[in-house]
Amino acid sequence: MLFLLILLFSVVVQFFLPWWSLALVCFAVAFWKARYGGQAFLAGFGAIGLAWLGMALFWHLVTDGLLSNRVAAMLTVNSPWILLVVTVVIGGVVGGLSALSGYLVRRLWV
Amino acid sequence: MKWIKAILAVSLTLLVIYGLNRTYGVIPALGPFLSPYEGFWRSGADDGFESEELTLEGLQAPVQVRFDSLRVPHIFAQNDHDLYYAQGYLTAKDRLWQMEFMTHAAAGRLSEIIGERTLEMDRYQRRIGMVVSAKKSLARMQADPQSRAVMEAYTAGVNAYIAQLSPHEYPFEYKLLHYKPEPWTTLKIALLLKMLAYDMTGYSDDLRMTNNLRKYGPEITQDLFPDYPFHEEPIVPLGSKPDFTPLPIPPTPADFMAAAAAHTLERQKPENLGSNNWAVTGAKTANGYPLLASDPHLNLSLPSIWHVVQLHAPGINTYGVIIPGAPGVGIGFNERIAWGMTNVGADVLDWYQIQFKDNKQQQYWHDNQWKPVRRVVEKINVKGGQTILDTVLYTHHGPVAYLPHEKAFRAGSTPIGHALRWIAHDPQNELRTLILVNRAADYQQFRNALTTWAAPAFNFVYADSQNIAIVSNGQFPLKWPEQGKFLLDGSNPAHDWQGWIPMEQVPQVLNPERGFVSSANQTPVSPQDYPYYLGASFAGYERSARINQRLSAMTQATPDSFRLMQTDNYSFVPQNVLPTLLKLVNQDSLTGTQKKAYQLLVSWDYRFNPDKMAPSLFENWWQTLARAIWSDDFPPETYKAPARDRLVQMIQQVPRSRWYDDVNTPDKETLPMLVNATFKEVADSLGVGGEKWLWGNARDSYIRHMAQLPGFEHQLFTGGSANSINALNGSHGPSWRMVVQMGPQIQAWGVYPGGQSGNPASRFYDNLLNDWQTGKLHQLLFLKSAADRPSATSVTWTFKKN
């Protein structure tokens, strides 16, 4: 549930707001719904990771990887797939940390 | 405990977000850059390009834009304002980052977006007075109501595009460097024109030539650096006498020898900076109307240097290429005429030795008195917050770009600097020339339009359905012979520039008897046929000789004959020098592999074809030999070595010259010794050969991203050489190949190494690169009206006024 809510809200929000808005979503949804710290982190990591994976993969395929190949070469990782993993991990970490924060802040009251 | 955990988690989250939201030197801000909702992943979408209607603020009437299969916009407007507005909008759509980046580079503002690594580049732009002169030019252009209206409409169009962009739509490079576009201004248009002058004329050898003069004296310097080369085919055919009364030439002052000087900032003129253009009369063509070709050679980069456009409004219908960010068409054609440009290469940049009164540098000596130095403080903002202040000193000559304490040598204890006198500092209205040329209907109108084109001076080739012409046009200082070949005396008024060659007296040819006109940056006119001194170091004659050889022989020419010529890889350099060199090689002393290399050269046809090994071998050998001969006498850091042409002459005519000896060794080297040693060295390095020695690979030619981003370059596999008509040399080469067939139905073909889009994720970023490499041209769709051939385009945008 937590996972799905983060996924849904973060995707909607990111279409309109800067990338870091995802942290606000994770924080708020975890504040509201999370029951354990581990659950919050995993849900945040997984949902944002998936939201970023899906979108990045979509654009990669739609553009035939024209740009992702070049960026991968520029960042010396040389494969767009590694770039994709890096993208997912970075998005995931921010999502996980902010969800965990939301849960821990909530715990101050209950 | 709860509190500590919560605070820790929140702080860590904020820290991570902050850390991901900023750049570190060359590392992009990974958060926004990698986010697939706003970052680079999303930069790709140029599919789904379809017809639509856009409502734009500031239009006066509806505009129709038809995109052809190369995604060239054909703009149909009902008035000039809307025409240039739409051009600005559409250029920004394709090239926003590039236009802004070029103007930042021109204005010395790269450090704002890149950081400290470009600080010295920025400082140099400020020192040579780029912004100051762009502002002066802008004032001049704005004084002309038509130019002003064009610039303002174009600027409004660019800004209309910028205003509707949201951050996820910013071009890729903004995301990478983590900044956002700023509003376009008319000053940026002036900066682009100055940048063009800088690329074409911002070079000099004056410091190095002065060092030569000091080391070897006037006689040897004159012998090795003649004012008119040994081989030449001037643009104005020999023996064409001028039909004007020349102005008196300023008297040559007494000899002056400046103090020895060196500065790492001196930008040396590349020996083969150049371009080709030519035209033939109807008598030489299959359809009986003139044909014209133009291929400007520039440093090739992606996004492409050129943006292609058709502009149609009442009173104008023109097609061609332009530097993104400037309005109008630069090289192209309209319904009546066609034109193209090559660089003239006249000496329009000089250095004056300035003697300051004292180390405070507040006064300098000129005309027997101390004159005040004007100080301008330049602010360079560096990414990350730092601001660097740089004070530039101005004399009446121009800015003192090289200050005394930055000099390698000093003459006595007098503080000496070098002031720059450069044609780009003199304001003129080059934009007006483009506006009028785009609308010109005959030679008279074309010729009149050129009179406000000051810099960079271009050889403008021209054709209409009856006439061909070429004009070496620009503002040239009226000089005494050799004025500015060396550093000049900044204290002597006789050394100042004393006026201008009248614009109607520039070198020009209209309908010459030989039936063709051509230029390849060679000396415009022989001193015997022209009263004025233009300069002493034009491009070598080899490309022009090949062009003229082929044009003289040409009959029944078709556009395809010109296409083939543009990709001609033949070079006169090996033809002139290789037989002499091969004769000097002692064949008995060669090893097996060396003999093979020798045979390769003996059987070579002097064509620099990509799939041959001989060109690699020759080019390497020739460069190595030239270094062996000159680098001891003229070390390249502080001296200028004689031109290629002069070396060929020496090898052919002077078998025992003092220059062959390497002064750094006790032995007495001779030409045969150097020829044999360098041949063996190069042949051995070639070994058994193989793929990497094929000319297409060995030449190591790349086309790179404009900001030199690694991973964005393409290696080129193509023929040609610096002195072939197909003048690819390193990353420098034909940036736009155009052929125009005149007549009642004008037809044209063209190609450029890249594509219309500046987006590296677009198919239209480099879609023409392969065709350019293989020498193909595309027929250019030149529409008569918005309704002409509706099936020729499938996507139409309609701009509606708000």
- Cα of B37 to nearest chain A Cα, Å: 6
Q: What is the pLDDT of residues B543-596, one digit of tens each?
A: 999 999 999 999 999 999 999 999 999 999 999 999 999 999 999 999 989 999
The answer on whether B788 is annotated among ligand-binding residues is no
| Separation between Cα atoms, residue B208 and residue B421, nearest integer Å | 17
Measured between CA atoms, the residue of chain A closest to residue B18 is A20
Residue contact A101–B3, C-beta within 8 A: no
Asked whether the ipTM of the predicted complex exceeds the cut of 0.90, the reply is yes
Domain count, chain A: 1
| A74–B712 C-beta distance less than 8 A | yes
Q: Which domain does B603 fall in, by range?
A: 572-698
Q: Taking 70 as the threshold, does the pLDDT of residue B410 lie above it? A: no
Q: What are phi and psi of B424, to 5 degrees?
A: -65, -15
| Contact assignment for B172 to A91 by CB distance below 8 Å | no
Q: State the CB neighbour count (10 A cutoff) for residue B359.
A: 10
B→A contacts (Cβ < 8 Å), by residue, are 2-3, 5-6, 9-10, 12-13, 16-17, 20-21, 30-32, 34-45, 47, 167, 172, 709-712, 760-763, 765
pLDDT, residue B374, reads: 95
Which residues from chain A sit within 8 angstroms of residue B710, using beta carbons? 73-74, 76
- Please write the tens of the pLDDT for every residue from B744-776: 999 999 999 999 999 988 889 999 999 999 999
Closest-CA distance, B9 to chain A, in angstroms, reads: 5
Q: State yes or no: is B275 an active-site residue.
A: yes
| B357: pLDDT strictly greater than 50 | yes
Strand-pair category, B747-751 with B778-779: antiparallel
Q: What is the pLDDT of residues B77-123, one digit of tens each?
A: 999 999 999 999 999 999 999 999 999 999 999 999 998 888 888 98
User: Looking at residue B603, which CATH number applies to its domain?
Assistant: 1.10.1400
Question: B674 lies in a domain?
Answer: yes
pLDDT at B273: 64
Tell me, yes or no, whether B395 lies in a domain: no
CB atoms within 10 A of CB B704: 16
Instruction: Note whether B34 contacts A91, CB cutoff 8 Å.
Output: yes
Q: Which of A59, A63, A104 sits opposite B9 (nearest CB)?
A: A104
- Do residues B497 and B376 touch, judged by C-beta distance below 8 A? no
- What H or E segment, with its residue span, contains residue B578? helix B572-584
Does a structural domain hold residue B525?
no
In B, minimum Cα distance to A14 occurs at: B37
Show residues of chain B in contact with A23, CB under 8 Å. 13, 17
SS3 B478: coil
| Residue ranges making up the domain that contains A54 | 2-106
Residue B408 has pLDDT above 50, yes or no: no
- B713, A69 Cβ separation under 8 angstroms: no
Smallest CA–CA distance, residue B305 to chain A, in Å, is: 20
CA atoms within 13 A on the CB side of B62: 8
Q: Is residue B657 part of a domain?
A: yes
Mean pLDDT score across all residues of chain B: 92
Contact A56 B41 (CB under 8 A): yes
CA distances, B589 to each of B234, B258, B679 (Å): 43, 49, 12
| CA angle at B454 for the pair B448 and B458, rounded to the nearest 5° | 85
Chain A residues bordering chain B (beta-carbon distance below 8 Å): 14-15, 18-20, 23, 27, 52, 55-56, 58-60, 62-63, 66-68, 70-76, 86-87, 90-91, 93-94, 97-98, 100-101, 104-105, 107-108
Beta-carbon contacts below 8 Å between A and B: 114
Distance CA B347, CA B650 (A): 25
- What are the CB-based long-range contacts (under 8 Å, 24+) for B751-755? B751/B776, B751/B777, B751/B778, B752/B304, B752/B305, B752/B306, B752/B308, B752/B321, B753/B300, B753/B304, B753/B703, B754/B302, B754/B303, B754/B304, B754/B305, B754/B306, B754/B703, B755/B70, B755/B71, B755/B304
| Partner-chain residue, chosen from B10, B30, B172, that has the shortest CB–CB distance to A67 | B172
CB contact under 8 A, B32 and A14: no
* CB spacing of B36 vs A93 below 8 angstroms: no
How does DSSP assign B105-128, residue by residue? HHHT-HHHHS-GGGHHHHHHHHHT
- Tell me how close the Cα of A3 comes to any Cα of chain B, in angstroms: 19
**Mean predicted confidence (pLDDT) in B221-243:** 92
**Which residue type sits at B439?**
R
Report the alpha-carbon distance of residue B87 to residue B290 in Å, rounded: 30
- Structure token digits, residue B411: 């003459």
Q: Which residues of B touch A13 (CB under 8 A)?
A: none
In which band, very low, low, confident or very high, does the pLDDT at B272 lie, cut at 50, 70 and 90? Answer: low
Contact B16 A62 (CB under 8 A): no
Residue numbers in B near A93 (CB within 8 A): 16
Q: Determine the pLDDT at residue B334.
A: 97
Return the structure tokens found at B642.
Answer: 């004689």
- With CB atoms and an 8 Å threshold, state whether A18 touches B12: no
> A78: distance to nearest CA of chain B, Å?
9
B456 cis-preceded (ω within 30 degrees of 0): yes
- H-type alpha helices, B172-285: 172-177, 186-201, 206-224
In a domain, B355, yes or no: no
Confidence label for B406 from pLDDT (cuts 50, 70 and 90): low
- Residue B404: the pLDDT is 55
Q: What are B124-165's pLDDT values in tens digits?
A: 899 999 999 999 999 999 999 999 999 999 999 999 999 999
Identified catalytic residue from B133, B137, B204, B275: B275
Phi, psi of B185 (to 5 degrees): -135, 165
B426 is in an annotated binding site: no
How far apart CA A93 and CA B6 sit, in angstroms, is 17
Q: In angstroms, what separates the C-alpha of A1 from chain B's closest C-alpha? A: 23
Q: What is the pLDDT of residues B159-214, one digit of tens each?
A: 999 999 988 889 999 999 999 999 999 999 999 999 999 988 888 888 889 989 99
User: Are B600 and B310 in contact, with CB atoms under 8 Å apart?
Assistant: no
pLDDT digits (tens, 9 = 90+) for B57-69: 999 999 999 999 9
Compute mean pLDDT per 10 residues along chain A, 110 residues long, and list them. 87 90 90 87 92 92 86 87 93 93 87
Count: domains in chain B: 1
CB-CB under 8 Å, B762 with A97: no
Nearest Cβ partner of B42 from A20, A27, A59? A59
